[in-house]
Amino acid sequence: MPTLIQNLIIIIGTAGLWFVTDYLNREYLGTFKISDFIYLIYLPAGYRLIAVITFGWLGAFSIGLAYAIRIYFFRDIPLIESISLAILYGLAPLAAYKLWERIFGITSNLANISIGNIFWLSFLSALFNAIFRIAYFAYANMPYGLHELSLIVAGNMAGTFFSFIFTKNIYPNLQGHQIKYAALLKRASQEIRIG
């Protein structure tokens, strides 16, 4: 039971924070919006990567769920399409992260990773997201191509770097680039159970 409660807190908290980054992106970075689906700086790209690094499949599920809710209720995209896009949206950073770990031999504690490693992780995540998104657009007969692919990659990479920089400045006691959201949420869930 405690694991179920902890997982629900992670899902709700992660999805809620994704909504915050999405809101901040729309409200404060709207000048970088190119089309309905493309921003030159897309902050949620970095946050979803941080969520996947921190929580793995649970992070991918949380981000996908938040995205499905957002596009179904606020963009009026049909339910099946919303679910399909949400699956792709959550899987892109997870697939990129797993491939990045394998290519660079990164361990799960993220100790001693370089800025170059972060660049490649950001690039892979942005590329996977763009490829998944363009594949969906092709399936839906929407006119997107290589130009849009490059804009999505650039926007996702910029958003990821800003998110990582923001996270590092918010939590200056992080050692290297290790993110400890899971420990904070675990502590919070224990306090909720005690209180």
pLDDT tens string 107-140: 765 656 777 888 898 899 999 998 888 888 888 8
pTM over 0.85: no
> Which residues of the chain are modeled with pLDDT < 70?
1-2, 108-112, 168-195
DSSP state of 42: -
CATH class, 2-194 region: mainly alpha
What confidence score (pLDDT) does residue 116 get? Answer: 82
Q: What are the residue ranges spanned by the domains of the chain? A: 2-194
What confidence score (pLDDT) does residue 176 get? Answer: 41
Closest CA to 50 of 155, 141, 168, 134: 168
CB count in 10 Å sphere of residue 72: 17
β-bridge mates for residue 61, sequence order: none
Q: Classify the C-alpha dihedral 54-86-129-18 as positive or negative.
A: negative
Instruction: Work out the angle between the directed axes of helices 43-55 and 146-170 (0-180°, nearest 10).
Output: 60
Distance, in Å, from the CA atom of 70 to the CA atom of 26, rounded to the nearest integer, reads 12
First to last CA, the chain: 16
What confidence score (pLDDT) does residue 190 get? Answer: 53
